[in-house]
């Protein structure tokens, strides 16, 4: 069984909605155990026990929230132990051109420093998933689910390759 952890911070509920929609997509892939946790409830052991870690944050001044940043800061205690795990990022923001891409990159940066493999997309949403406001439209909901589905498939492929 492959373990995927979705970590999120959400003050208004927008990022939380996205996290649970992403989880719906993850759960469509067989052989995957998906856990969704608010950042306040995540331990370093949760990170260590996951094959894939997806992190979601609201966009605050073009960067991740302080709580997500604190998790990455605390993760220095397990530095080197997240190498080879698959990572991805998602965000919700107040509008277009409001810092969503730099928020995604700030989270991806931390993942790369850990030696994680980061899921990108050559077609659209290159750095991760960015939703304006809450994912209310069917298009936004489907983007969240598809993002989770693609991520889970990559985690399964890489996990299988690492065990053979």
pLDDT on residue 27: 98
pLDDT on residue 164: 73
Phi, psi of 116 (to 5 degrees): -80, 155
pLDDT on residue 163: 81
Contact (Cβ atoms closer than 8 angstroms) between residue 134 and residue 100 = no
- Domains in the chain: ranges and CATH: 2-163 (3.40.50.360)
pLDDT on residue 162: 85
Q: Spell 27-50 as b/e; 16+ CB within 10 A means b.
A: bebeebebebeebeebeeebbeeb
pTM, whole model, 2 decimals? 0.96
Full pLDDT tens readout for the chain, 164 residues = 999 999 999 999 999 999 999 999 999 999 999 999 999 999 999 999 999 999 999 999 999 999 999 999 999 999 999 999 999 999 999 988 899 999 999 999 999 999 999 999 988 889 999 999 999 999 999 999 999 999 999 999 999 998 87
CA dihedral 92, 107, 66, 42 (to 10 degrees): 100
């Amino acid at each position: 069984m492959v373990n995927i952890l979705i970590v999120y911070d959400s003050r208004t509920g927008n990022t939380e909605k996205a996290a649970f929609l992403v989880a719906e997509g993850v759960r469509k892939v067989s052989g995957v155990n998906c856990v969704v946790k608010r950042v306040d409830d995540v331990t370093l052991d949760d990170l260590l026990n996951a094959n894939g870690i997806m992190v979601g944050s609201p966009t605050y001044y073009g960067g991740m929230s302080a709580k997500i940043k604190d998790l990455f800061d605390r993760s220095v205690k397990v530095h080197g132990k997240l190498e080879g795990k698959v990572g991805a990022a998602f965000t919700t923001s107040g509008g277009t051109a409001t810092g969503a891409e730099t928020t995604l990159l700030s989270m991806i940066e931390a993942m790369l420093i850990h030696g994680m493999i980061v899921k990108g997309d050559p077609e659209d949403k290159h750095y991760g998933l960015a939703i304006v406001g809450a994912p209310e439209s069917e298009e936004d909901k489907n983007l969240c689910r598809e993002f989770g589905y693609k991520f889970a498939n990559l985690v399964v492929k890489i996990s299988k390759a690492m065990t053979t």
